Amino acid sequence: MKNSGWIIILFCNLTLTQAQDLFTEFDTIRLEEFTITQRIPLNDQSVLDLSRSSRFSSIDKINGRLEGISLIKRGAYALEPQMDGFSGGQINVTVDGMRMFGACTDRMDPVTSYIEPDNLESFNITHGTSGSRNGNTVGGSFDMILREPVIGQTEGMLVETGLGYESVSNGINANGALEVNREKWAFRTSGTYRNHNSYRGGDGIKVPYSYFKKINLHSVVKYDLGKNNTLRFDFLLDDAVDVGYPALPMDVGKAKARMYAVEIERLDAYRTVSQLKAKLYFNSVYHLMDDSNRDSTFRLTDENGAPSDTVYMRMDMPGWSDTFGFFMEGGASLGEKSHIYVKLDDYLNYSRAYMTMFMNYPEYPGEPPMYTETWPDVFRNVAGIFIRNTTRVSNSVNVNLEGRLDMSQTRVTSETGHRQFAIFGYDIDRGYFELPKSLNLSANFRTNGVTRLDAGAGYAERLPTTSEQFGFFLYNALDGFDYLGNPEIGLERSTHFWGNLHFTWPELKVSIRNRFSYVSDYIIGLIDPEIPQMNLYASGVKRYDNIPAALLYGTSLQLQWDPGAYLTFYTLLRYTYGRTGEGDPLPLIPPLRNTSICKFRKGIFSVQMEGEFSSDQNRINSGFGENPTPAFAIYHLRNSFHWLVKETVIEVGAGIENIFDKAYSEHLDWGNFLRPGRSIYLNLRVII
């Protein structure tokens, strides 16, 4: 009842605020496939129009608006994507199908933080168990497709530069791109620089440690080898320094990522075999946490919990994650009505992280540093095969059957790591072998040109993450516990059902999506009162374990209306529900939310009004440090102008985000620190 009331209020809101302004970063509704495309062919005036102010959006701002995606926020930067309540190791975040893993034991560096919208062509998002193309997953896959230049076509060269300013953080965004297209080859390089100070919340007070600075560079070269073969090299660099995390007891001094890939693609190789692709890649992530800007004074307590003394501590916490892998994929027609797609892949990940604590306890000067291995040299090799068969049963019905089998071997090579886990009764001096698998069956029905129904069911298993299996006293600032990995932890398993209904009329598109997961052996941290915590600020220890069951449900309503040539209305309403088998709410489940956009564009001018609305969230799990979050409504106004001067496009964007300076935070924001207050931004972009 309460929820339906909300929906009415939201729609009223939308009508009231119509005729204000807009921005859609991408064409959000693509009914034919679960792909959300942000492709921006730069000479396409209409798409340019739509994507206007998006050029300086961070990838987080884009992700946060995607259907089924929410963001876990610990700072102003590097928000972690969550899909229908699944996050971390439950979802597969990949770049062009390449596996990559963050190097932070505290999940401060999700893979999405290494990609900028400037080098992003599109997302390939698949929900639940059906996202297993790039690796078995229970929560879905989030593949970021990198932009590539086009060979042949019209020979040309394109230079693009942009500069933006945001008042709330006194922040600068700058980017530049160069693309060269020739008959036999093409090259593209793009770079982004961002430098933001701590931003001001809606209450007028600066949110401490919410600053960040980063550069990102992506270069691609493509060669035409003839006979439909192309060779492609990718290089990506992302360096962030001095990134503050208001929700955590420490910041990041340095976060570095490098990515190298070489790919051969063969199109229409034979009549029946199509799209053969082979890719070899390596990526390396380095993450260094830094608490030198923090107070770092900790209070010791006596047996009764009363303060007894203070110590001063500095920590050195580096982490590395290197991934080397390859995959081969290809499709083939099996007769008239059937198509088969096969992917073979293998990756080797090497993750390690260490912690050294330097104490300065006045009573005990000169104390030696303390050292422990938080990820004790963990090697994991996963080889897999994925097969999908699509059969056209009739002109209106397609049936899709896909399966995947992975073979995983995990080994800890550090002697210290072995001894650390021996304390807890584990003998980890052996390889851990697993065979995660998945099977999905789905069908889509197209009635007339208007209605389409997708429905399916699937089962999948996923591997535990490095932290869940071998993490050693990883501090979680949300619930205040140290987390201990469980070497014997089992695979998480999900049975997943989904049903999506789409209506497409020329002026109106509507999508209703429903996804339900029954997860068994759900991996979660359980309090172990026997183990004393290690970090000074921790209140106990949780050990990762499999609990019998959890239920997750996600639904959304998406609507886009284009009445006439000048106006676009767009709204997305989404809701997620999660509980354990025993009925306790799962932690970090977003409440009912709505994003509504109204855009008017005419000639060189466009104006866009946006509203973001969230209900309160009182279904919380206080055992995981959650607090109830109140409802909020915020509004943004965006304007842009563009001129074509000979061959040059000049674009100016200006707007106000959080117009009414609302002091708010979203439910998935750790520690309830405030989101940015009112911010005025100004962008200039020139394309030659």
Partner 1 sequence: MKRSSIIYTILCLLALSIVSCDKSDDPDDNDPDMVLIATAMTDAQTFQVALYANDTLFEGYNKLYISIKEASSTDQVTDAAIVLKPLMDMIDMVHAAPVENPAGVANEEGLFEAAVVFIMPSTDMMGWTLDVQVETADKDETAVFEIPLVRSLEESRKFNVISPLDETKYFVSLVEPMAAEVGINDCEFTVHYKESMMSFPPAEDLTIEIEPEMPSMDHGSPNNEHPVHTADGHYEGKVNFTMTGWWRIHMVIKKNGDVLTDDAYIDITLE
Which residues of this chain interact with partner 1, rule CB under 8 A?
300-301, 311, 355, 357, 359, 361, 364, 367-372, 416, 418-420, 422-425, 472-473, 530-534, 536
Cα 218 to Cα 179: distance, rounded to the nearest angstrom: 12
State the minimum distance, in angstroms, from the CB of residue 547 to partner 1.
Answer: 22
State the minimum distance, in angstroms, from the CB of residue 294 to partner 1.
Answer: 17
647 CB-contact burial (10 Å; exposed 0-12 / middle 13-18 / buried 19+): exposed
State the minimum distance, in angstroms, from the CB of residue 367 to partner 1.
Answer: 5
Q: How many residues does the chain have?
A: 688
Sequence-ordered strand ranges (E) for 581-688: 593-602, 605-614, 632-645, 648-657, 679-687
State the minimum distance, in angstroms, from the CB of residue 378 to partner 1.
Answer: 17
Cα 570 to its chain centre, rounded Å, is 23
Among 20-28, 282-290, 308-316, 425-433, the segment contacting Cu ion (CB under 5 A): 282-290
Residue 204 interacts, among partner 1, Cu ion, none and using kind-specific CB cut-offs from 5 to 8 Å, with none
Token readout for 268 is 């229409």
Which of 10/108 has CB closer to Cu ion? Answer: 108
Which of 190/351 has CB closer to Cu ion? Answer: 351
126 CB-contact burial (10 Å; exposed 0-12 / middle 13-18 / buried 19+): buried
Residue 106 interacts, among Cu ion, partner 1, none and using kind-specific CB cut-offs from 5 to 8 Å, with Cu ion
Which of 64/471 has CB closer to partner 1? Answer: 471
108 scored as a contact of Cu ion (CB under 5 A): yes
State the minimum distance, in angstroms, from the CB of residue 293 to partner 1.
Answer: 22
104 scored as a contact of Cu ion (CB under 5 A): yes
Instruction: Name the helix (H) or strand (E) containing 62.
Output: helix 59-63
Residue 108 interacts, among partner 1, Cu ion, none and using kind-specific CB cut-offs from 5 to 8 Å, with Cu ion
State the minimum distance, in angstroms, from the CB of residue 543 to partner 1.
Answer: 11
- Backbone φ and ψ of 463, nearest 5°: -75, 150
Which of 217/250 has CB closer to Cu ion? Answer: 250
Cα 488 to Cα 653: distance, rounded to the nearest angstrom: 54
Contacts of 230 (CB under 8 A, 6+ apart): 151, 222, 223, 224, 264, 265, 267
Q: Which residue in 439, 463, 443, 467 sits closest to 454, CA to CA?
A: 443
Residue 104 interacts, among Cu ion, partner 1, none and using kind-specific CB cut-offs from 5 to 8 Å, with Cu ion
Which of 324/424 has CB closer to partner 1? Answer: 424
Residue 473 interacts, among Cu ion, partner 1, none and using kind-specific CB cut-offs from 5 to 8 Å, with partner 1
Which of 191/318 has CB closer to Cu ion? Answer: 318
State the minimum distance, in angstroms, from the CB of residue 104 to partner 1.
Answer: 20
Cα 185 to Cα 232: distance, rounded to the nearest angstrom: 10
Residue 328 interacts, among partner 1, Cu ion, none and using kind-specific CB cut-offs from 5 to 8 Å, with none
State the minimum distance, in angstroms, from the CB of residue 108 to Cu ion.
Answer: 4
Which of 27/316 has CB closer to partner 1? Answer: 316
227 CB-contact burial (10 Å; exposed 0-12 / middle 13-18 / buried 19+): exposed
The per-residue b/e assignment along 528-537, b for 16 or more CB within 10 angstroms, e otherwise, is: beebebbbbe
Order of strands, sheet of 98-99, starting from the edge strand that comes earlier in the sequence = 35-37, 120-127, 140-146, 91-95, 98-99
State the minimum distance, in angstroms, from the CB of residue 105 to Cu ion.
Answer: 7
State the minimum distance, in angstroms, from the CB of residue 530 to partner 1.
Answer: 6
- Backbone φ and ψ of 128, nearest 5°: 65, -150
Which of 319/554 has CB closer to partner 1? Answer: 319
State the minimum distance, in angstroms, from the CB of residue 368 to partner 1.
Answer: 6
656 scored as a contact of Cu ion (CB under 5 A): no
Which of 507/530 has CB closer to partner 1? Answer: 530
What residue number has its CB nearest to Cu ion?
A: 104
State the minimum distance, in angstroms, from the CB of residue 305 to Cu ion.
Answer: 29
State the minimum distance, in angstroms, from the CB of residue 369 to partner 1.
Answer: 7
Cα 445 to Cα 399: distance, rounded to the nearest angstrom: 9
Instruction: Please count the CA atoms within 13 angstroms of the CA of 222 that sit on its side-chain side.
Output: 24
Do 345 and 384 meet the contact criterion of CB atoms below 8 Å apart?
yes
- Backbone φ and ψ of 617, nearest 5°: -125, 110
Which of 178/357 has CB closer to partner 1? Answer: 357
Neighbours of 275 (CB within 10 A): 14
Instruction: Please count the CA atoms within 13 angstroms of the CA of 211 that sit on its side-chain side.
Output: 13
Residue 431 interacts, among Cu ion, partner 1, none and using kind-specific CB cut-offs from 5 to 8 Å, with none
Which of 79/474 has CB closer to partner 1? Answer: 474
State the minimum distance, in angstroms, from the CB of residue 415 to partner 1.
Answer: 9
Count of residues near Cu ion by CB under 5 A: 4
Among 50-58, 108-116, 294-302, 491-499, the segment contacting Cu ion (CB under 5 A): 108-116
Q: Which residue in 210, 202, 353 sits closest to 293, CA to CA?
A: 210
Residue 269 interacts, among Cu ion, partner 1, none and using kind-specific CB cut-offs from 5 to 8 Å, with none
Which of 107/685 has CB closer to Cu ion? Answer: 107
106 scored as a contact of Cu ion (CB under 5 A): yes
**Positive/negative CA dihedral, 447, 450, 456, 461:** positive
Which of 155/309 has CB closer to partner 1? Answer: 309
Instruction: Please count the CA atoms within 13 angstroms of the CA of 365 that sit on its side-chain side.
Output: 0
Residue 368 interacts, among Cu ion, partner 1, none and using kind-specific CB cut-offs from 5 to 8 Å, with partner 1
Q: How many helices (H) and strands (E) would you count in the chain? A: 5, 34
Do 569 and 608 meet the contact criterion of CB atoms below 8 Å apart?
no
Residue 419 interacts, among Cu ion, partner 1, none and using kind-specific CB cut-offs from 5 to 8 Å, with partner 1
Residue 184 interacts, among Cu ion, partner 1, none and using kind-specific CB cut-offs from 5 to 8 Å, with none
Question: CA-based Rg of the chain, rounded to a whole angstrom?
Answer: 25
Which of 335/529 has CB closer to partner 1? Answer: 529
Letters for 284-313 (x = contact with Cu ion by CB under 5 A, - = none) are -----x------------------------
State the minimum distance, in angstroms, from the CB of residue 545 to partner 1.
Answer: 16
Residue 289 interacts, among partner 1, Cu ion, none and using kind-specific CB cut-offs from 5 to 8 Å, with Cu ion
Token readout for 106 is 């505290």
Contacts of 12 (CB under 8 A, 6+ apart): none
Which of 473/664 has CB closer to partner 1? Answer: 473
Task: Give residues in contact with Cu ion (CB under 5 A).
Answer: 104, 106, 108, 289
